[in-house]
Structure 1
Amino acid sequence: MDSDRSFKALAIIYLLALVFLFDVNVVEIGIQCYALEEEQCTSDLSPFLPLPYSDTSQMACKNIWNSFFIRYSQTDDNTVTIILSTIYTTGWVGIGFSKDGMMLNSSCMVGWVSMQGGHARIKQYHIEGFTPSEIIPDQGEIPLTNVPPFVVLNRATLYLAFQLKYPYRLKEQSILLAFGSKHPHPKHHLLTLHDDKTSIKFDFSSG
Protein backbone atom coordinates (compact mmCIF):
# COMPACT_ATOMS: atom_id res chain seq x y z
CA MET A 1 0.00 0.00 0.00
CA ASP A 2 2.77 2.44 0.96
CA SER A 3 4.67 1.63 -2.24
CA ASP A 4 1.54 2.37 -4.31
CA ARG A 5 1.11 5.72 -2.59
CA SER A 6 4.77 6.57 -3.13
CA PHE A 7 4.51 5.66 -6.81
CA LYS A 8 1.38 7.80 -7.25
CA ALA A 9 3.03 10.71 -5.45
CA LEU A 10 6.10 10.47 -7.67
CA ALA A 11 3.88 10.26 -10.76
CA ILE A 12 2.00 13.41 -9.72
CA ILE A 13 5.27 15.26 -9.05
CA TYR A 14 6.58 14.16 -12.46
CA LEU A 15 3.42 15.33 -14.21
CA LEU A 16 3.51 18.66 -12.40
CA ALA A 17 7.13 19.10 -13.44
CA LEU A 18 6.22 18.40 -17.07
CA VAL A 19 3.36 20.91 -16.91
CA PHE A 20 5.68 23.51 -15.40
CA LEU A 21 8.32 22.97 -18.09
CA PHE A 22 5.65 23.10 -20.81
CA ASP A 23 4.29 26.38 -19.43
CA VAL A 24 7.80 27.84 -19.27
CA ASN A 25 8.43 26.87 -22.91
CA VAL A 26 5.09 28.35 -23.98
CA VAL A 27 5.92 31.59 -22.18
CA GLU A 28 9.38 31.71 -23.79
CA ILE A 29 7.90 31.14 -27.26
CA GLY A 30 5.32 33.83 -26.60
CA ILE A 31 8.01 36.28 -25.52
CA GLN A 32 10.08 35.51 -28.63
CA CYS A 33 7.05 36.00 -30.91
CA TYR A 34 6.19 39.28 -29.18
CA ALA A 35 9.78 40.49 -29.49
CA LEU A 36 9.83 39.61 -33.21
CA GLU A 37 6.55 41.44 -33.78
CA GLU A 38 7.82 44.47 -31.88
CA GLU A 39 10.99 44.51 -33.97
CA GLN A 40 9.21 44.04 -37.29
CA CYS A 41 6.36 46.46 -36.63
CA THR A 42 8.24 49.29 -34.94
CA SER A 43 11.50 49.36 -36.89
CA ASP A 44 12.31 52.45 -38.95
CA LEU A 45 12.24 51.60 -42.66
CA SER A 46 13.31 55.01 -43.95
CA PRO A 47 17.05 54.19 -44.17
CA PHE A 48 16.46 51.55 -46.86
CA LEU A 49 12.96 52.05 -48.35
CA PRO A 50 12.07 54.99 -50.63
CA LEU A 51 8.93 57.07 -50.35
CA PRO A 52 6.05 56.41 -50.16
CA TYR A 53 6.95 53.05 -48.60
CA SER A 54 9.27 54.48 -45.96
CA ASP A 55 6.43 56.51 -44.40
CA THR A 56 4.77 53.90 -42.20
CA SER A 57 3.08 56.36 -39.85
CA GLN A 58 -0.40 55.49 -41.18
CA MET A 59 0.26 51.78 -41.68
CA ALA A 60 -1.11 48.89 -39.67
CA CYS A 61 1.24 45.96 -39.08
CA LYS A 62 0.33 42.32 -38.47
CA ASN A 63 2.03 38.95 -38.29
CA ILE A 64 0.11 36.82 -40.80
CA TRP A 65 2.10 33.57 -41.16
CA ASN A 66 5.30 32.26 -39.59
CA SER A 67 7.83 35.11 -39.94
CA PHE A 68 5.69 36.90 -42.57
CA PHE A 69 4.57 40.39 -41.55
CA ILE A 70 2.40 42.76 -43.54
CA ARG A 71 2.27 46.53 -43.23
CA TYR A 72 -0.57 48.17 -45.10
CA SER A 73 -2.59 51.34 -45.46
CA GLN A 74 -5.57 52.39 -47.57
CA THR A 75 -6.45 55.96 -48.49
CA ASP A 76 -9.86 57.47 -49.18
CA ASP A 77 -9.27 57.11 -52.92
CA ASN A 78 -8.68 53.34 -52.49
CA THR A 79 -4.91 53.41 -52.92
CA VAL A 80 -3.46 50.48 -51.00
CA THR A 81 0.21 50.44 -49.99
CA ILE A 82 1.65 47.10 -48.89
CA ILE A 83 4.98 46.07 -47.41
CA LEU A 84 5.54 42.35 -46.92
CA SER A 85 8.55 41.31 -44.86
CA THR A 86 9.99 37.99 -43.76
CA ILE A 87 13.23 36.36 -42.69
CA TYR A 88 15.26 35.57 -45.82
CA THR A 89 18.24 33.37 -46.57
CA THR A 90 17.91 32.35 -50.23
CA GLY A 91 15.37 31.69 -52.98
CA TRP A 92 12.20 33.75 -53.43
CA VAL A 93 9.28 35.12 -51.40
CA GLY A 94 5.80 35.81 -52.75
CA ILE A 95 2.37 37.20 -51.92
CA GLY A 96 -0.57 36.51 -54.21
CA PHE A 97 -4.10 37.82 -54.68
CA SER A 98 -6.77 35.26 -55.46
CA LYS A 99 -10.50 35.41 -56.14
CA ASP A 100 -11.19 32.03 -54.54
CA GLY A 101 -8.17 31.33 -52.32
CA MET A 102 -6.63 29.00 -54.92
CA MET A 103 -3.33 29.41 -56.77
CA LEU A 104 -4.75 28.86 -60.26
CA ASN A 105 -5.56 32.14 -62.05
CA SER A 106 -4.17 34.21 -59.19
CA SER A 107 -1.62 37.01 -59.52
CA CYS A 108 1.33 37.50 -57.23
CA MET A 109 4.25 39.75 -56.40
CA VAL A 110 7.52 37.86 -55.95
CA GLY A 111 10.84 39.17 -54.67
CA TRP A 112 14.33 37.73 -54.36
CA VAL A 113 18.01 38.60 -54.26
CA SER A 114 19.94 37.09 -57.16
CA MET A 115 22.93 34.86 -56.57
CA GLN A 116 24.91 36.69 -59.26
CA GLY A 117 25.80 40.13 -57.94
CA GLY A 118 23.22 40.18 -55.16
CA HIS A 119 20.71 42.25 -57.15
CA ALA A 120 17.25 42.54 -55.58
CA ARG A 121 14.35 41.89 -57.96
CA ILE A 122 10.57 42.09 -57.71
CA LYS A 123 8.10 40.99 -60.39
CA GLN A 124 4.43 40.36 -60.88
CA TYR A 125 3.45 36.87 -62.04
CA HIS A 126 0.23 35.36 -63.35
CA ILE A 127 -0.39 31.75 -62.37
CA GLU A 128 -1.94 29.97 -65.35
CA GLY A 129 -0.94 26.46 -64.23
CA PHE A 130 1.29 24.56 -61.84
CA THR A 131 4.49 24.12 -63.84
CA PRO A 132 7.20 26.82 -63.98
CA SER A 133 6.42 27.61 -67.62
CA GLU A 134 2.79 28.34 -66.69
CA ILE A 135 3.70 30.94 -64.05
CA ILE A 136 4.19 33.93 -66.32
CA PRO A 137 6.51 36.79 -65.26
CA ASP A 138 5.59 40.43 -65.92
CA GLN A 139 1.91 39.56 -66.24
CA GLY A 140 -0.99 39.56 -63.82
CA GLU A 141 -4.10 41.36 -62.65
CA ILE A 142 -2.73 43.17 -59.60
CA PRO A 143 -3.65 46.85 -60.25
CA LEU A 144 -0.26 48.43 -59.60
CA THR A 145 0.04 52.21 -59.55
CA ASN A 146 2.76 54.22 -61.28
CA VAL A 147 4.86 54.01 -58.11
CA PRO A 148 7.48 51.34 -58.89
CA PRO A 149 7.46 48.24 -56.68
CA PHE A 150 10.55 47.91 -54.54
CA VAL A 151 12.41 45.05 -52.87
CA VAL A 152 15.38 45.19 -50.52
CA LEU A 153 17.26 42.89 -48.19
CA ASN A 154 18.09 44.60 -44.90
CA ARG A 155 20.12 42.44 -42.54
CA ALA A 156 18.26 39.11 -42.62
CA THR A 157 14.84 40.47 -43.61
CA LEU A 158 13.50 40.79 -47.16
CA TYR A 159 11.00 43.60 -47.81
CA LEU A 160 8.59 43.61 -50.77
CA ALA A 161 6.83 46.94 -51.23
CA PHE A 162 4.18 47.80 -53.81
CA GLN A 163 1.15 50.02 -54.27
CA LEU A 164 -2.29 49.21 -55.71
CA LYS A 165 -5.27 51.27 -56.85
CA TYR A 166 -8.81 49.90 -56.83
CA PRO A 167 -12.11 51.38 -58.05
CA TYR A 168 -13.62 50.32 -54.71
CA ARG A 169 -12.51 49.99 -51.11
CA LEU A 170 -10.49 46.82 -50.62
CA LYS A 171 -11.97 44.78 -47.78
CA GLU A 172 -11.63 41.05 -47.16
CA GLN A 173 -9.32 39.49 -49.71
CA SER A 174 -7.94 35.99 -50.23
CA ILE A 175 -4.16 36.19 -50.24
CA LEU A 176 -1.54 33.54 -50.87
CA LEU A 177 1.84 33.43 -49.14
CA ALA A 178 4.69 31.24 -50.33
CA PHE A 179 8.45 30.88 -50.44
CA GLY A 180 10.96 28.75 -52.30
CA SER A 181 14.56 28.02 -51.32
CA LYS A 182 15.79 27.91 -54.94
CA HIS A 183 16.22 31.08 -56.98
CA PRO A 184 14.15 31.84 -60.08
CA HIS A 185 15.82 31.19 -63.43
CA PRO A 186 18.50 33.90 -63.82
CA LYS A 187 17.53 34.72 -67.41
CA HIS A 188 13.83 33.94 -67.85
CA HIS A 189 12.87 34.54 -64.18
CA LEU A 190 10.70 31.42 -64.13
CA LEU A 191 9.88 30.44 -60.56
CA THR A 192 11.07 27.26 -58.92
CA LEU A 193 8.76 25.02 -56.90
CA HIS A 194 7.69 26.50 -53.57
CA ASP A 195 8.85 24.92 -50.31
CA ASP A 196 5.72 25.94 -48.43
CA LYS A 197 2.58 28.01 -48.96
CA THR A 198 -0.65 29.03 -47.29
CA SER A 199 -3.89 30.79 -48.14
CA ILE A 200 -5.65 33.16 -45.76
CA LYS A 201 -8.46 35.70 -45.72
CA PHE A 202 -7.21 39.18 -44.88
CA ASP A 203 -9.26 42.30 -44.20
CA PHE A 204 -7.49 45.35 -45.62
CA SER A 205 -10.20 47.67 -44.29
CA SER A 206 -9.29 46.96 -40.66
CA GLY A 207 -6.54 48.85 -38.87
Structure 2
Amino acid sequence: MLSVVPYYNKPSQEGLYRHFKTITEAVDIPMVLYNVPGRTVTNMAPATTARLAELPSVIGIKEACGCLNQISEVIRLCPKDFIVLSGDDFTSMPTVLIGGKGVISVTSNVYPKAMSELMEAALNGDLVKANELHYKLFALMGTMFCYPNPAPAKKGLHLMGKIATPEVRLPMTEMDEASLNKLITEMKEVGLI
Protein backbone atom coordinates (compact mmCIF):
# COMPACT_ATOMS: atom_id res chain seq x y z
CA MET A 1 0.00 0.00 0.00
CA LEU A 2 1.30 3.46 -0.94
CA SER A 3 0.31 5.89 1.81
CA VAL A 4 0.80 9.63 1.35
CA VAL A 5 1.72 12.21 3.97
CA PRO A 6 -1.55 13.84 5.09
CA TYR A 7 -2.29 17.19 3.52
CA TYR A 8 -4.08 20.36 4.62
CA ASN A 9 -3.61 19.96 8.41
CA LYS A 10 0.20 20.31 8.31
CA PRO A 11 0.89 17.72 11.02
CA SER A 12 4.03 17.78 13.16
CA GLN A 13 6.69 15.09 12.71
CA GLU A 14 5.27 13.32 15.77
CA GLY A 15 1.81 13.56 14.18
CA LEU A 16 3.16 12.00 10.99
CA TYR A 17 4.77 9.18 12.94
CA ARG A 18 1.59 8.43 14.89
CA HIS A 19 -0.55 8.66 11.73
CA PHE A 20 1.45 6.05 9.83
CA LYS A 21 1.94 3.87 12.93
CA THR A 22 -1.84 3.80 13.43
CA ILE A 23 -2.31 2.68 9.82
CA THR A 24 0.22 -0.15 10.24
CA GLU A 25 -1.66 -1.33 13.32
CA ALA A 26 -4.99 -1.33 11.47
CA VAL A 27 -3.91 -2.90 8.18
CA ASP A 28 -1.86 -6.06 7.74
CA ILE A 29 -0.13 -5.34 4.41
CA PRO A 30 3.27 -3.87 3.55
CA MET A 31 3.33 -0.08 3.44
CA VAL A 32 5.39 2.26 1.26
CA LEU A 33 5.40 5.79 2.61
CA TYR A 34 4.92 8.63 0.11
CA ASN A 35 6.56 11.95 0.90
CA VAL A 36 5.52 14.61 -1.62
CA PRO A 37 5.79 18.01 0.09
CA GLY A 38 5.07 19.86 -3.16
CA ARG A 39 1.51 18.50 -3.00
CA THR A 40 0.90 17.99 0.73
CA VAL A 41 2.77 21.08 2.04
CA THR A 42 4.25 18.92 4.82
CA ASN A 43 7.71 17.37 4.45
CA MET A 44 8.44 14.17 6.32
CA ALA A 45 11.89 14.58 7.87
CA PRO A 46 14.48 11.83 7.40
CA ALA A 47 14.47 11.14 11.15
CA THR A 48 10.72 10.52 11.04
CA THR A 49 11.13 8.22 8.05
CA ALA A 50 13.83 6.32 9.96
CA ARG A 51 11.52 5.90 12.98
CA LEU A 52 8.78 4.58 10.72
CA ALA A 53 11.24 2.26 8.91
CA GLU A 54 11.62 0.39 12.22
CA LEU A 55 7.96 -0.67 12.06
CA PRO A 56 7.72 -4.19 10.57
CA SER A 57 5.22 -3.43 7.82
CA VAL A 58 6.85 -0.18 6.62
CA ILE A 59 9.08 -1.45 3.82
CA GLY A 60 10.00 1.67 1.88
CA ILE A 61 9.35 5.22 0.77
CA LYS A 62 8.53 7.00 -2.45
CA GLU A 63 10.59 10.12 -1.76
CA ALA A 64 9.43 13.07 -3.87
CA CYS A 65 11.11 15.88 -1.95
CA GLY A 66 13.36 16.69 -4.94
CA CYS A 67 16.36 17.10 -2.61
CA LEU A 68 19.32 14.74 -2.83
CA ASN A 69 20.53 15.89 0.58
CA GLN A 70 17.29 14.68 2.17
CA ILE A 71 17.26 11.48 0.13
CA SER A 72 20.85 10.79 1.25
CA GLU A 73 19.82 11.29 4.89
CA VAL A 74 16.91 8.88 4.48
CA ILE A 75 19.21 6.23 2.99
CA ARG A 76 21.84 6.84 5.68
CA LEU A 77 19.40 6.66 8.60
CA CYS A 78 17.17 3.77 7.51
CA PRO A 79 17.90 0.03 7.66
CA LYS A 80 19.83 -1.39 4.69
CA ASP A 81 16.81 -3.38 3.47
CA PHE A 82 14.53 -0.30 3.48
CA ILE A 83 13.46 0.51 -0.10
CA VAL A 84 14.03 4.12 -1.14
CA LEU A 85 12.38 4.98 -4.47
CA SER A 86 12.61 8.30 -6.22
CA GLY A 87 9.25 9.98 -6.53
CA ASP A 88 10.59 12.51 -9.03
CA ASP A 89 11.78 11.36 -12.44
CA PHE A 90 14.53 13.99 -12.55
CA THR A 91 16.09 12.59 -9.35
CA SER A 92 15.67 8.94 -10.29
CA MET A 93 19.19 8.35 -11.63
CA PRO A 94 20.99 10.28 -8.85
CA THR A 95 18.81 8.58 -6.22
CA VAL A 96 19.86 5.16 -7.47
CA LEU A 97 23.50 6.21 -7.62
CA ILE A 98 23.43 7.21 -3.93
CA GLY A 99 21.74 3.98 -2.84
CA GLY A 100 18.08 4.15 -3.88
CA LYS A 101 16.36 1.17 -5.47
CA GLY A 102 14.41 2.76 -8.34
CA VAL A 103 11.59 5.14 -9.17
CA ILE A 104 7.82 5.41 -9.22
CA SER A 105 7.71 7.38 -12.44
CA VAL A 106 5.34 9.67 -14.33
CA THR A 107 7.43 9.64 -17.52
CA SER A 108 7.18 5.84 -17.62
CA ASN A 109 3.51 6.24 -18.48
CA VAL A 110 4.51 7.43 -21.96
CA TYR A 111 8.03 5.98 -22.25
CA PRO A 112 8.31 2.90 -20.02
CA LYS A 113 11.09 1.29 -22.08
CA ALA A 114 13.47 4.21 -21.75
CA MET A 115 12.75 4.76 -18.05
CA SER A 116 13.27 1.05 -17.42
CA GLU A 117 16.57 1.15 -19.33
CA LEU A 118 17.64 4.21 -17.34
CA MET A 119 16.93 2.50 -14.03
CA GLU A 120 18.58 -0.74 -15.15
CA ALA A 121 21.73 1.12 -16.24
CA ALA A 122 21.89 3.08 -12.98
CA LEU A 123 21.26 0.00 -10.82
CA ASN A 124 23.97 -1.89 -12.73
CA GLY A 125 26.45 0.96 -12.33
CA ASP A 126 26.62 1.71 -16.07
CA LEU A 127 27.11 5.43 -15.53
CA VAL A 128 27.76 6.27 -19.17
CA LYS A 129 24.48 4.75 -20.34
CA ALA A 130 22.52 6.02 -17.32
CA ASN A 131 23.81 9.56 -17.83
CA GLU A 132 23.02 9.42 -21.56
CA LEU A 133 19.45 8.24 -20.91
CA HIS A 134 18.94 10.72 -18.09
CA TYR A 135 19.74 13.64 -20.37
CA LYS A 136 17.84 12.15 -23.30
CA LEU A 137 14.72 12.04 -21.11
CA PHE A 138 15.37 15.10 -18.95
CA ALA A 139 13.29 17.62 -20.95
CA LEU A 140 10.45 15.11 -21.31
CA MET A 141 10.55 14.48 -17.55
CA GLY A 142 10.05 18.19 -16.94
CA THR A 143 7.33 18.41 -19.56
CA MET A 144 5.34 15.75 -17.73
CA PHE A 145 4.85 18.49 -15.10
CA CYS A 146 4.33 21.51 -17.37
CA TYR A 147 0.64 21.23 -16.53
CA PRO A 148 -0.99 19.57 -13.49
CA ASN A 149 -0.51 15.81 -13.47
CA PRO A 150 -1.99 13.53 -14.84
CA ALA A 151 -3.08 15.66 -17.82
CA PRO A 152 0.30 15.54 -19.67
CA ALA A 153 0.66 11.78 -19.25
CA LYS A 154 -2.90 11.15 -20.41
CA LYS A 155 -2.55 13.52 -23.36
CA GLY A 156 0.77 11.89 -24.26
CA LEU A 157 -0.83 8.45 -24.28
CA HIS A 158 -3.66 9.83 -26.40
CA LEU A 159 -1.20 11.33 -28.90
CA MET A 160 0.49 7.92 -29.12
CA GLY A 161 -2.85 6.21 -29.79
CA LYS A 162 -2.65 4.22 -26.55
CA ILE A 163 -5.86 5.59 -25.04
CA ALA A 164 -9.05 6.84 -26.70
CA THR A 165 -9.44 10.06 -24.74
CA PRO A 166 -7.18 12.25 -22.60
CA GLU A 167 -10.11 13.11 -20.33
CA VAL A 168 -9.30 14.01 -16.73
CA ARG A 169 -11.69 14.49 -13.82
CA LEU A 170 -12.32 17.84 -12.18
CA PRO A 171 -10.68 19.73 -10.64
CA MET A 172 -8.06 18.66 -13.20
CA THR A 173 -8.53 19.97 -16.74
CA GLU A 174 -7.14 19.12 -20.15
CA MET A 175 -3.90 20.84 -21.10
CA ASP A 176 -3.81 24.41 -22.37
CA GLU A 177 -2.38 25.10 -25.84
CA ALA A 178 1.07 26.28 -24.72
CA SER A 179 1.58 23.22 -22.52
CA LEU A 180 0.25 20.91 -25.22
CA ASN A 181 2.69 22.37 -27.76
CA LYS A 182 5.56 21.81 -25.32
CA LEU A 183 4.47 18.22 -24.78
CA ILE A 184 4.23 17.56 -28.52
CA THR A 185 7.68 19.06 -29.07
CA GLU A 186 9.34 16.94 -26.39
CA MET A 187 7.56 13.74 -27.41
CA LYS A 188 8.72 14.29 -31.00
CA GLU A 189 12.25 14.97 -29.73
CA VAL A 190 12.47 11.49 -28.18
CA GLY A 191 10.62 9.77 -31.02
CA LEU A 192 7.38 8.93 -29.25
CA ILE A 193 5.21 10.62 -31.90
Q: Same fold (TM over 0.5)?
A: no
Question: TM-score scaled by structure 2?
Answer: 0.25
Question: TM-score scaled by structure 1?
Answer: 0.24
Q: Which has the higher contact order (CA 8 A, sep 6+)?
A: 1
- Decide which structure has greater strand share: 1
